[in-house]
Amino acid sequence: MAGLKKSNLNSIVELRTTTDDNLPNSLSELGYTQSFAFTDSQLAIGLVTVSLAGILFLLDKKYEFDEIYTFTIVLIVLYFTLSSVLYYFKSAKKYKDVKYIGYDDKGNKITIKSYSPKFEPLYKVTVILGHNVKETEFDINYSELFDAFGHFRQDELTARIKKEIAQLQKK
């Protein structure tokens, strides 16, 4: 159970990771189902780029360079293109720090982005409802999400996200 796992209260990285890992639990309590399409597409692109590199390696071992020159150029261009798309998914503002994408029973989309500043014990969260239609940002101090022993308080995170979603839906 996630509530019984202790986290190191002196490690912002561990606190952020524990909180990120518990986001799906909080949002499932609120009636959202996580979608893995974005993650799956990133994994597929990564797998294809690794496969291309492997194919290039095998071709280089089996044939002379002059025999496969054109094929090598095509594969390198394809590798570069796919790597650029993957880089865009990892670094573009629209996709950076996305921790959760889900849908409710009506098909309404929710996207959660989060990060923590390097030396501040804050969990900065952005909630986006719909396709960039409604957006809000808020901060949660880790002392609100963890007790003095390092146990995660799921109900605090769920209540805060529920409050922010309710405010967004009123807009």
Q: Where do the structural domains in the chain lie, given as residue ranges?
A: 2-32+104-170, 38-91
Q: Where are the alpha helices (DSSP H) in the chain?
A: 12-29, 37-62, 69-91, 142-145, 154-170
- State the pLDDT at residue 5: 78
Q: Please name the helix (run of DSSP H) or strand (run of DSSP E) that holds residue 140, with its range, or none.
A: strand 134-141
User: Is 116 in contact with 139 (CB distance < 8 Å)?
Assistant: no
- State the pLDDT at residue 94: 86
The stretch 92-118 carries a mean pLDDT of: 92
Provide the percentage of residues in the chain whose pLDDT is more than 90. Answer: 80
Return mean pLDDT, the chain. 92
Each residue's pLDDT tens digit, 53-96:
999 999 999 999 899 999 999 999 999 999 999 999 888 888 88
Each residue's pLDDT tens digit, 36-53:
999 999 999 999 999 999
Nearest to 5 by CA among 25, 35, 34, 32: 25
- For residue 27, is pLDDT > 80? yes
The sign of the dihedral angle between the CA atoms of 35, 36, 38, 39 is: positive
Report which DSSP code applies to 92.
Answer: S
Distance CA 157, CA 55 (A): 46
The stretch 133-158 carries a mean pLDDT of: 92
